Chains A and B, each alone.
Chain A
Amino acid sequence: MNRAMIQAIWLLALCALLAFLGVTRGALPVTAAQLWQLVNGEAARNVQLIVLEWRLPRVAMALLIGAALGISGAIFQSLLRNPLGSPDILGFNTGAYSGVLVALMLFHQTSEIITLAALIGGVLTAALVYLFAWRNGVETFRLIIVGISVRALLMALNGWLIISASLEAALSAGLWSAGSLNGITWAKTPPVIAVLLLALLLTSLLARRMRLMEMGDDTACALGVPVERTRLWLMLLGVVLTAASTALAGPISFVALLAPQIARRLCGGIKGALPLAALCGALLLLAADYAAQHLFLPYQLPVGVITVSLGGLYLIALLVREARRQ
């Protein structure tokens, strides 16, 4: 049992606890006994409906999306060697959301098309940011500033799209624009789940190469890693993870920034950083969503409001610390 394993078990236990709370608490409380009945298939019809159809999809997707965002952030922070190089600061989730909005306006709103549009939007944005930042190679800080400007541009574009959409589309899109897990049902999830699981699987296959590349391109190359090709694949996977999450929950900011940082602190090094980042992301999003639902009753906040406040505070602390160190 090394340190990372112990931390992972702790995180899993916390996730399970929060998931239990998320499933049972609410306007219609469900007791543990009722939940046990449900597992045995003896529960009343209303309990089945509340737990399986209303609360479980939300909790499950919070866990999956949180994990995806955590991994996505870990990939980019590792590739760019900078905690600020996270997909939400670079605007990739905003780009995916632009894709979603275009799809909502132009096509039928099936979840397959929305997911596809989010993927296209995210990948195009990433390509655009990379292209604009390219000047005899990509320097991380230039990439970040270019990402910030592209993000501002896309946010303006999204505002425009929301205004010019029909009223119903605009209302639902507008409510969603801060990033929210409200109103998730099983019917909307299959394409997103499929894409996320596939991307997570591929990422786990590349995880070893990613660790080697953190030692520097030359070392990795000497150890037999095809550096450029791996980097491209990892970036694509990172963007896909963020974009597919955005297709379901809107642009949730700063989970991708925070989760890998917390994971790094927890395990005290690089080893096992990816699974820990996934667990941290899942826990973070689930906790933020629980707080957004239950802390401010009778109002329900979009979860993005909570994560943006937390993440921004952390970002400021990070900048202050970096400045001190110099």
Chain B
Amino acid sequence: MRQLTAIAASGMLLLLLLALSLMLGAKSIAIHDISLALTTACGSADCIIVREARLPRTLAGLLAGSALGLAGALMQSLTRNPLADPGILGVNAGAGFAVVLGIALFGADSPADWLGFAFGGALLSSLLVALTGALGGGRVNPVRLTLAGVALGAVLEGLTSGLSLLNPDIYDHLRFWHSGSLDIRNFAILRATYPAVIVGGLIALLLARSLNSLSMGGDLATALGTRVARTQLLGLLAIALLSGAATAAVGPIAFVGLMTPHLARWLWGNDHRWMLPGTLLITPCLLLAADILGRVMVPGELRVAVVTALIGAPMLIVLVRRKLGRGQI
């Protein structure tokens, strides 16, 4: 019952934040005008702001938020690492690098092409991180995994910025995208990426039961009839789909996938059948709230990736102090 209440409450919160995201900004627009703009064809300035700027922005927040949250939750469960996050582990950087390579070498210039490259890059880099972490044998050391990810991310970001500085064309393509902002002003990217998010999300939700038994340890999970290798492989696929799509849509945003799974575990417990849908609801809340905060906090705007880092980095410190202190890592 408590879990259902929490689901309902976060659903309401999400609706509220969706409305606020449409209303607030450099120019505030009343809710009445928004419903008018969404339902009828109109030509006023407010109407154009809502349709061309705020609506894609809000939908991007919803899409990227759910994708990043689920990817983070999956990563944390699969690697049994409380510090995992597609941003921290360099998966987003991998997706970004692949997109830059795609533009540089293959002349990819439509969002659909970017998605393919982003997906491939995300898959490769998550594989690489998993391999680096797994070389130690059976159990993956969370600290080593985090460091491997940070190293990978640093290399890929260095190469990405090098390539984009060398080629003004790429720089121009990536200017708005590379910075991790929801302000995309364009439905094409959303249309190209949402199927990947839906497929990845469905895989993740279907894995919930297997993840539950996997969290008790590989041997016990096998004894309970869970196919461990298949779960891990599907999980990896879902992570790549989700974080690749999110990165292709809004650029690299870190720390979102780190925070909300912990919040979801606190609200709904360790049962993935509740925790994953919960994450799906509260992550867009966080991302939208960060975006709204960035819009109203300073004149001009603060990119959402900056706001999430400002909130998320202290969270990582708290986590590492608590878990390392209790010897859980």
- Which residues of A line the B interface, CB within 8 A? 84, 89, 132-133, 135, 139, 141-142, 144-146, 148-150, 152-153, 155-157, 159-160, 163-164, 178, 253-254, 296, 299, 301-302, 304-306, 308-309, 311-313, 315-316, 319-320, 322-324, 326
Contacts and interface: CB of A to CB of B under 8 A. Distances in A.
Q: Is the interface of A mostly helix, strand, loop or mixed?
A: helix
A253 B154 CA distance: 9
B98 to A, nearest CB: 16
Nearest to A88: B154
Contacts of B143: 141, 144-145
Nearest to A148: B150
Contacts of B141: 323
A320 B255 CA distance: 25
Given A163-B302, A316-B155, A323-B135, A153 B144 contact: no
Given A157-B310, A320-B132, A305 B165 contact: yes
Contacts of B88: 148
Given A142-B320, A149-B313, A312 B302 contact: no
A311 B317 CA distance: 25
A304 to B, nearest CB: 8
10 contacts: A142-B320, A142-B324, A145-B143, A152-B309, A254-B154, A308-B155, A316-B151, A319-B148, A323-B135, A324-B135
A164 B298 contact: yes
A148 B154 CA distance: 12
A148 B143 CA distance: 11
B306 A160 contact: yes
B166 A156 contact: no
B325 interface: yes
Contact of B147 (A84, A308, A309, A311): A84
B162 A309 contact: yes
A315 B152 CA distance: 8
B225 interface: no
Contact of A164 (B300, B310, B313): B300
B187 to A, nearest CB: 26
Interface string B289-311: 00000000010101101110110
Interface residues of B, number: 46
B165 A299 contact: yes
A257 to B, nearest CB: 10
A299 B166 CA distance: 6
Nearest to A175: B165
B158 A152 contact: no
B155 A313 contact: yes
Given A155-B309, A305-B161, A306-B162, 15 more contacts: A142-B321, A146-B320, A149-B317, A153-B314, A296-B166, A302-B165, A306-B158, A308-B157, A312-B152, A312-B155, A315-B151, A315-B154, A322-B144, A323-B133, A326-B136
A308 B158 contact: yes
Contacts of B310: 153, 156-157, 160
A322 B145 CA distance: 12
Contact of A156 (B133, B159, B162, B309): B309
Given A308-B154, A323-B144, A150 B321 contact: no
Given A139-B324, A320-B132, A145 B158 contact: no
Given A153-B310, A155-B309, A164-B298, A145 B155 contact: no
Nearest to A141: B143
Interface in B249-268: 254-255
Contacts of B151: 312, 315-316, 319
A326 B317 contact: no
A312 B135 CA distance: 18
B43 interface: no
A156 B152 contact: no
B155 A150 contact: no
Interface in B91-150: 132-133, 135-137, 141, 143-144, 146-148, 150
A305 B147 contact: no
B134 to A, nearest CB: 8
B276 interface: no
A150 B255 contact: no
Nearest to A164: B298
B78 interface: no
Contact of B132 (A149, A164, A323): A323
